[in-house]
Chains A and B, each alone.
Chain A
């Protein structure tokens, strides 16, 4: 990477010892007041999530605002949103690893954790949104005595495979990456219980040359496995829409446009979380402005792709000559009852990231915080625009209707957000937020380079 930014990727002269001390520090420290204060309300939010799911299962999907024609509302909006957020983790871990982008090393761990938790949040929606979730397993291709299997033409079934694969591989990748650090935690801890727990999960890691060799190879293999998933998962999710024939859904541009959107929102979420977290955790010497600068560039680039996607959708709506498409894109979206969702989406996703053309803006904490949150909101709005606006006015005007979410919809959405942040907090507390071993390796390279090298 050329040195456009003046900030280095590791600040100050660091040694293995200083890195061990500073990067594991938060794990050993007793929970701070801020941590406790944050955890309380977040756990309450998780409780709300649990109650909403209980309520949903008690009465049926009717406790949500879904209706006919809007069969999918907050459930699938949030599903797609969360799946999208997860994408940054996989992209950073896998693709940037393969491309040997060194700057990924200090943010990949947190980004991967984010992926996992986001996928967990996402999965709650399709699991519980079915009318009879106790029969969800019928979507699995098991040898059924009923003589019926799943229907392989359905994109929902593809979703099952895509998302479950994605979740599994992400978990493995994250865990494999953690092993050396878990061993380090085991070795450094003074608590017996922690030693046992970390010991079990570090799988007998001794840091021998063979361990490192196998680990490197395995990690690289998993990275290669994950790479297609970055593209496939959100492509498959986009098929849920593209394969149908609803105006606003039925578009060939959806797979790339969805993937770009997912990376866009994922990076925005990494920035939203890591900006304060790097400060609080005391790891801003390894997660520096340079990292954020790079991520902001990715946000700008993917934001442009997303904008191009919007433009193409509108162009195709006009070019196709389809009355349904043109009504949706030129009437319903911009002038219909949900017009503010549409205009908000355009502002957040197309206009806001344009600030990042400026280096100064890319490095301003305030701007970064605002823009990354706007992008997250914008991408949520995009899913709402695609799903709800398309559904609420389809082919026959007699079926058109409004969609209004209920408290259970909103409660469940807030609940998953709380679940996500609770999981992130616990992750930060019990595991190193940075891939320490990788950073040490990178630091070694940096130090060598500074000494003039060999």
Chain B
């Protein structure tokens, strides 16, 4: 790549970390060429200037911000700041196992360390990221000024230290080379200053005209006090302007349901630690952004024993939540209401309030009837300890019915309580987008600012927001100067940016100051870990501030002032503030529990709706991409879907019976063939037809086409996620956004889907085990053949005398298959993404994988209704490791603490170790997967872990870098490493605590206790590998009434 300035270090570019977002250093840039606008002239730095005006963006420069390569144009203070980054990179460079030599670059030490920073040691900051109005409390690790890992904030109950894959992947988006970096006007680069001045003049003009009557802001739902204040200040300038909230996968049904039930909008807060019996109705509550707490609580109550909860799940698709339930009933999404009403009718015998709500329910016989009877009985028997959770896809009525049932079961105040919602405006669904689109089409909008995520893509078949926006942008471009304005703001130049007059690149959450409310109402503070990598980007508060001419003000000052005002100026503010920042949360800001009384009358007036006849199309948010906003995250594209194990695609998920009914050939149920071609169906809703590849997933309801939203992106900026999968929004109806009647036809087309795991017959191998609770006391005997010391001729090495004998235990009972461990490992251990083609050839690099098996038996688990069990597999760290003795060059050996170490430097790549690994946890670098990383992507690598080159084998190390860090820390103070001081990345990410790690020579350690558990077994015990990892059998708590005797 040619750099415009030749006296730079070749091939390697450091991003400019700007201090205050001003353009001061731009003055040092080379003289710019003439461009269209008077503003551009003086602000283009050489990179753009060189390529202007012929091409607005240098195609080669896409990865680097203006001025990125200009070391000599960087202010001295900036230069010093860069050192941190370069130090870290040096770690990456020198640490790489082989291949490319370190970049020739001058590396200077800090003259004086910045406060709190010791080079080589990590720093942790609490902050927050939000998605569709839900805030996730996070703790971010930074190395030498570079954030490298996201974990849950352990000091906040909604996270309890865990973070899901989506939250963790935030690191990748920070360093995503495809991020938007430049302000655009009509697709051409423009100066930020020009934008700010345009905003200022337009605000003045429109305020004068009619007080901003035609000004609309389309925002994400939010409860942020700062944003609320800034919005109020915008409204001071433009009193007639309006803010509209929209997100594609919204909680509005839930909120409207509460309004129906209680007369006002309330947010349910479930306490699953008190739930003996729980029913999830189309509710995948275990897949919860920003709320690992509910998963944790669920898991706590799933501990095998007396108090173990019983979990029923009803819904159209086998999701994570359904897969871990004790009983599952497959029903169409549109049939949930009928089912709930039928259930209420059964429960309502002595409850006059409830009885009217039970009318209009469905008739259920046979298996379903038995399920209903047993469920009703169980709920009644456990009144006060029973809870019903209704999914957000269900209509407000179903939510209201659910709240009523919970109330009558004595759940309110016990298993569920109600608080004020965490967002200010709860009208967040399609209705608000539709109204806004109508307004635009009616010509009532003069200025539109879109900060909501990508509504041109996250649209409805009957609400073409993108077209309206395009028209508005075109008319704004033609209108007299500064009388109209269309602006969108986002991390990427997406579909909405493409049809907006102006586009403003967003600062990443890890680069921004702000605040947000978690689901429990507590206010989380957002503090940046790094200066914005790209000078032109703006945070949401900065963008709003531009409307009252304060965009250039320090965002920290804005935030602090806002809070100072809110709590009343007190002399201790700074120390209070520092305390909040440290914990990431404003003290005692959580919402208090409200008194909630059900208004049975209103609910009973709601007419019962009938389920959809024929085929139902059931749309949902994707486990990985949510509504599509993470489509450029290669981590998320590649992490296997928890249930289907699909990567890099979405698909129509059908039950085996449905596939049979459609006479689909070559589906994935059965033995694999050489080529994995999947059939394609045509799904028609109204006028629109979509062709969808089919993935057959047992456990789904019949006649339902389950389809995740968020794929098939076309945004120009998002190259990794572009044109992958099918865009399900094309079929989405604003009136029935989740469940809609559809025509489904088989086609002769095929499509290649790639999964990390096929469906195979397990041949009754004792791999992933589960047992009913009734057998808990027999576990010891039943697992005898999988435990103990395997017979051997060799004298095994005695590890009982060493100080530390590291071991792991994975409790299958707690695993939900959520994949947080995979992403945590990927971030911690610099695991590369390989792409669809390579995954197709089974070359994915995950050090930990989550295997998913289906269970059928002679009883109620059938091919249509299988049990599911997920099993995370890491390196088992065998004491007699089969991989070690076959390596011809001693590249994998045993440490004295019994870990199976991998010496990348020594590995020549014969792959014999992998062949001989019975767990197949070793991963080989078939290509130089890390070789193509851009400079900015390299910033996200963990400097503690070698970045592996091509031709080298790698595998789970039990996070040996974390062990060594703890060893140094405790050796320094002369102590033994205490239990719990080391957490492996997967353990830390796991929301249910399924993974335990520690010293097996310490009988009191958590892992020792788990190894002593009656449910413990070794995987492939008979091979005599003596794994250091033990699995604990999953226990199911089925209702005896539902088990065939």
- Would you call A395 and B912 a contact (CB within 8 A)? no
B175 sits at the interface (CB 8 A):
no
> In the bound complex, what is the Cα–Cα distance between A290 and B889 (angstroms)?
49
Contact with B along A152-164 (1 / 0, CB 8 A): 0111110010000
> In the bound complex, what is the Cα–Cα distance between A401 and B673 (angstroms)?
10
> In the bound complex, what is the Cα–Cα distance between A229 and B1011 (angstroms)?
50
- Would you call B853 and A398 a contact (CB within 8 A)? yes
Hey, which chain B residues are within 8 Å of A402, CB to CB?
672, 674, 842
A260 sits at the interface (CB 8 A):
no
Given the contacts A149-B890, A323-B764, A401 and B924 also touching, CB distance less than 8 Å: no
Question: Who on chain A is nearest to B905 by CB?
Answer: A146
CB distance from B742 to the nearest CB of A (A): 33
B950 sits at the interface (CB 8 A):
yes
- Would you call A154 and B950 a contact (CB within 8 A)? no
> In the bound complex, what is the Cα–Cα distance between A236 and B764 (angstroms)?
35
- Would you call B906 and A71 a contact (CB within 8 A)? no
> In the bound complex, what is the Cα–Cα distance between A66 and B914 (angstroms)?
12
- Would you call B910 and A398 a contact (CB within 8 A)? no
B368 sits at the interface (CB 8 A):
no
- Would you call B882 and A245 a contact (CB within 8 A)? yes
CB distance from A409 to the nearest CB of B (A): 12
> In the bound complex, what is the Cα–Cα distance between A153 and B912 (angstroms)?
13
B682 sits at the interface (CB 8 A):
no
Hey, which chain B residues are within 8 Å of A61, CB to CB?
909, 911, 924, 926, 951
Given the contacts A323-B764, A395-B1020, A397-B765, A156 and B920 also touching, CB distance less than 8 Å: no
Which candidate, B295-303, B498-506, B755-763, B806-814, is the interface stretch facing chain A?
A: B755-763
B274 sits at the interface (CB 8 A):
no
B732 sits at the interface (CB 8 A):
no
Within 8 A of A (CB), among B837-857: 838, 841-843, 849, 851-853
Hey, which chain A residues are within 8 Å of B758, CB to CB?
400-401
> In the bound complex, what is the Cα–Cα distance between A191 and B671 (angstroms)?
67
- Would you call B890 and A68 a contact (CB within 8 A)? no
Contact with B along A119-131 (1 / 0, CB 8 A): 0000000000111
> In the bound complex, what is the Cα–Cα distance between A401 and B759 (angstroms)?
10
A425 sits at the interface (CB 8 A):
no
Contact with A along B997-1039 (1 / 0, CB 8 A): 0000000000000000000000110010000000000000000
Within 8 A of A (CB), among B847-902: 849, 851-853, 871, 873, 882, 885-890
> In the bound complex, what is the Cα–Cα distance between A149 and B672 (angstroms)?
43
CB distance from B922 to the nearest CB of A (A): 7
> In the bound complex, what is the Cα–Cα distance between A398 and B915 (angstroms)?
15
- Would you call A131 and B924 a contact (CB within 8 A)? yes
Which candidate, A135-143, A262-270, A273-281, A343-351, is the interface stretch facing chain B?
A: A135-143
- Would you call B926 and A66 a contact (CB within 8 A)? yes
B970 sits at the interface (CB 8 A):
no
Contact of B888 (CB < 8 Å), options: A69, A132, A154, A323: A154
CB distance from B516 to the nearest CB of A (A): 39
> In the bound complex, what is the Cα–Cα distance between A98 and B98 (angstroms)?
51
A449 sits at the interface (CB 8 A):
no
> In the bound complex, what is the Cα–Cα distance between A67 and B1023 (angstroms)?
23
B907 sits at the interface (CB 8 A):
yes
Hey, which chain B residues are within 8 Å of A397, CB to CB?
760-763, 765, 767, 853
CB distance from B817 to the nearest CB of A (A): 12
B918 sits at the interface (CB 8 A):
yes
Hey, which chain B residues are within 8 Å of A327, CB to CB?
763
B923 sits at the interface (CB 8 A):
yes
B447 sits at the interface (CB 8 A):
no
A448 sits at the interface (CB 8 A):
no
Hey, which chain B residues are within 8 Å of A139, CB to CB?
888-889, 908
Within 8 A of B (CB), among A92-138: 129-133, 135-136, 138
Hey, which chain B residues are within 8 Å of A396, CB to CB?
765, 767, 851, 873, 918-920, 1019-1020
B928 sits at the interface (CB 8 A):
yes
Total A-B pairs in contact (CB under 8 Å)?
Answer: 178
- Would you call B841 and A67 a contact (CB within 8 A)? yes
B953 sits at the interface (CB 8 A):
yes
- Would you call B889 and A245 a contact (CB within 8 A)? no
A72 sits at the interface (CB 8 A):
yes
- Would you call B886 and A68 a contact (CB within 8 A)? no
> In the bound complex, what is the Cα–Cα distance between A336 and B670 (angstroms)?
12
Question: Who on chain A is nearest to B882 by CB?
Answer: A245
Contact with B along A365-408 (1 / 0, CB 8 A): 00000000000000000000000000101111111111010000
Hey, which chain B residues are within 8 Å of A399, CB to CB?
919-920
B927 sits at the interface (CB 8 A):
yes
CB distance from B503 to the nearest CB of A (A): 38
Given the contacts A62-B838, A131-B952, A246-B915, A69 and B885 also touching, CB distance less than 8 Å: no
Question: Who on chain B is nearest to A152 by CB?
Answer: B888
Hey, which chain B residues are within 8 Å of A151, CB to CB?
885, 887-890
Contact of A156 (CB < 8 Å), options: B871, B910, B924: B910
> In the bound complex, what is the Cα–Cα distance between A327 and B673 (angstroms)?
18
Contact of A132 (CB < 8 Å), options: B671, B873, B909, B916: B909
B153 sits at the interface (CB 8 A):
no
> In the bound complex, what is the Cα–Cα distance between A99 and B1019 (angstroms)?
53
B46 sits at the interface (CB 8 A):
no
Hey, which chain A residues are within 8 Å of B871, CB to CB?
398
A224 sits at the interface (CB 8 A):
no
- Would you call B765 and A148 a contact (CB within 8 A)? no
- Would you call A245 and B916 a contact (CB within 8 A)? yes
- Would you call B951 and A132 a contact (CB within 8 A)? yes
CB distance from B667 to the nearest CB of A (A): 16
Hey, which chain B residues are within 8 Å of A70, CB to CB?
842
> In the bound complex, what is the Cα–Cα distance between A66 and B951 (angstroms)?
12
B488 sits at the interface (CB 8 A):
no
A209 sits at the interface (CB 8 A):
no
- Would you call A71 and B908 a contact (CB within 8 A)? no
> In the bound complex, what is the Cα–Cα distance between A59 and B838 (angstroms)?
13
Give the residue among B907, B911, B928 with the most A Cβ atoms within 10 A. B911
> In the bound complex, what is the Cα–Cα distance between A324 and B762 (angstroms)?
11
Hey, which chain A residues are within 8 Å of B757, CB to CB?
398
Hey, which chain B residues are within 8 Å of A240, CB to CB?
912
Q: Give chain A's interface residues, CB within 8 Å of chain B.
A: 59-62, 65-72, 129-133, 135-136, 138-139, 148-151, 153-157, 160, 240, 243-246, 323-324, 327, 331, 336-337, 391, 393-402, 404
Besides A71-B912, A153-B885, 20 other A-B contacts (C-beta < 8 A): A62-B843, A62-B927, A65-B841, A67-B841, A67-B843, A68-B914, A131-B950, A151-B888, A151-B889, A153-B886, A154-B886, A244-B912, A245-B882, A246-B916, A337-B671, A396-B919, A396-B1020, A398-B852, A398-B871, A401-B758
The 9 A-B residue pairs with the shortest CB-CB distance in the complex, in nearest-first order: A131-B909, A131-B951, A62-B926, A71-B911, A398-B851, A399-B920, A67-B842, A156-B888, A132-B951
**What would be 15 A-B contacts, judged by CB atoms less than 8 Å apart?**
A59-B927, A62-B841, A69-B842, A69-B920, A131-B909, A156-B887, A244-B915, A323-B764, A327-B763, A395-B765, A396-B1019, A397-B763, A400-B672, A401-B672, A402-B674
